Structure 1
Amino acid sequence: MLSFFSRARSLSSSTENNEESTTSNTKSSKIIIEEIDSETEITTTPTTTPQPTTETREDPSQTSTPKKQQAMEDTNKSPSSPSSAEKRYHTPRITVDVIRDLCSRQSLFQTPYLNDKLFLHHRGFRVIENLELYTELKALWLEGNAITKIENLGHLDKLRCLYLNQNLITTIENLENLVNLQTLNLSSNRITVVENLECCPQLETLNLGNNKISSIDSLSSLCKLNRLSVLDLSSNEIDDAGIVDILSQLPKLTVLYLKGNPFVGKTKNYRKTFISKLPHLTYLDDKPVSKDERRCVMAWAQGGHVAESEERRKIIEENESRHEREMNQWKEMQERALLKRAEEEKNGTMK
């Protein structure tokens, strides 16, 4: 019985302890919850936003230091426009030292008058200058620069070849003393009128391709070049097929380039027309003019397509006849060789 009562006491005491702990835990949890709620009330309480002060902050860009203001003024200042002389000499120049340096690189002579050729191409030069000492030049390359004017070449009276293609030249001028000039290349420039070339009586090759030539009246001076045999007028703006009447006055014209002009595509029977009116032409637009083609063209010019067809038939018959004649000659040569060999075998003299 005693043990039973002691167990009962211990159980009741443990129960009381559990109740006390539960109560204490409940109290502590209530305290924690109250603290959290108080914190939440504090955080959720609307705060009054401070009113903006009447002080205005200055824009830093407007309150820059004097140095910054000076720098901004210098930046905003527009550069003074250079004069025409400054523009002209802004790019690399043809100086005596530059020419000597180029001669050294190209294995040419350092003594100017010993050179008969000079390469000054693709250097960005704008002005032809300082060539007075190179009096023996026969060929001068100046292509691929930014030259705007033909000048300072009067002392080169022995010059035969002048290459000024791929520049910014607008006028053909100052060639009066180049009486021995035979080849002149002025392609890929801005030339609109062909002029001042009658002073070059020896001129044989003239390249004016890829320019701004549009009127056939601007080509009338070509008639004075009696020795001209090669002419390039390709990729211009010529829109009149009447140019053939001007070109027909060139007695030695053999090579002609006209492709890339508007009139070429508009002219009916363009190739036949030009071949028939230019009797010495051997090349037209990169394509040779054969003897058979000329025969057909001349027949077409006289009797139209019927005469041209008849001439083609004659050409075919002539070619077949010539081929047959050559074959017969070949067979006869073989027969003679066989007879000679048989005779040598019979006489025992065959080698």
Structure 2
Amino acid sequence: MSVLVTGGAGYIGSHTVLNFLDAGETPIVVDNLSTGFDWLVPEGVPFYQLDIANKDAVTDIMLEHKVDTVIHFAGSIILPESIENPLKYYRNNTANSLGLMEAAVAANVQHFVFSSTAAVYGFPDSVPVAETAPLRPQAPYGTSKLMTEQMLLDVANAHDLTITALRYFNVAGADPRGRAGQATHNATNLIKVACEAATGKRSSMTVFGQDYDTPDGTAIRDYIHVSDLAMAHRLAVERMRHGGGNLIVNCGYGRGFSVLDVVRAVKKASGSDFAVELGERRPGDCPEVVAQSTLARTELDWKPELDTIDQIVGDAYRWEDSLTRRNRV
């Protein structure tokens, strides 16, 4: 049996592929390359440049490779863009996920891991945020993911399918061995943007909002290393293969860093005193979001190994620097 990774040529997907390879299992990658890159797919990994909206073709791939597990990353992820273009998000994140579920059921797939988000919580009443917190997304991005979570639970109840949804907090960093990292054009992630400023790809970066009710006035987020997150996906698959039931868990470390904390860490890692501009708050941003991650640690036996801001920022900067030198993007 084998694992199919949708969006496996993208940022988190490519790291998850590497984690499975390191564990001795070769997954199959489906990616339309709208935001991914074929050079992030390791040699020897079966790769299909295909949109998951092509349900019949995806079903054929599942049947051909005797897929027992789907890990679903493919989708759109920029919160402000979802406010401006909600139809794109309901199509890419919800409608296409429905088609993927139909393909999985048709191909008798047994397990499904879904790339969800902390955006399903919206503005939390308190932090850290537990899985039992109210679900009230503030933008179509979070709503589209929450709708997919509910569809998966309904499909799992009706068919021989077990699902795990991982609600990511702020993913950052890069493979410590330099094999993969974030290569997205026009990225909006804070650490990626700061590293681009540090390498000279941007003339400056902007801090959005300095009047939040936080110690330094800037927003606080729970940053999780992408390789630790990739490990959580493999552990989720192992748990289901050993009889574990449906599960929805947060993926974060349970502690936060402010925007200015991150800026200082990137300046330290890079040795670059890049320009930082001050801007207004962005729509949909909240002051602080930090995970309660006890459930992931207990249910998945997840033991993060790269959980310091210096590790996350250092790996991200080294990757960005390597991209600059190789003229990749």
Q: Same fold (TM over 0.5)?
A: no
When normalised by structure 2's length, the TM-score is 0.23
Which structure is larger by alpha-carbon Rg, 1 or 2?
1
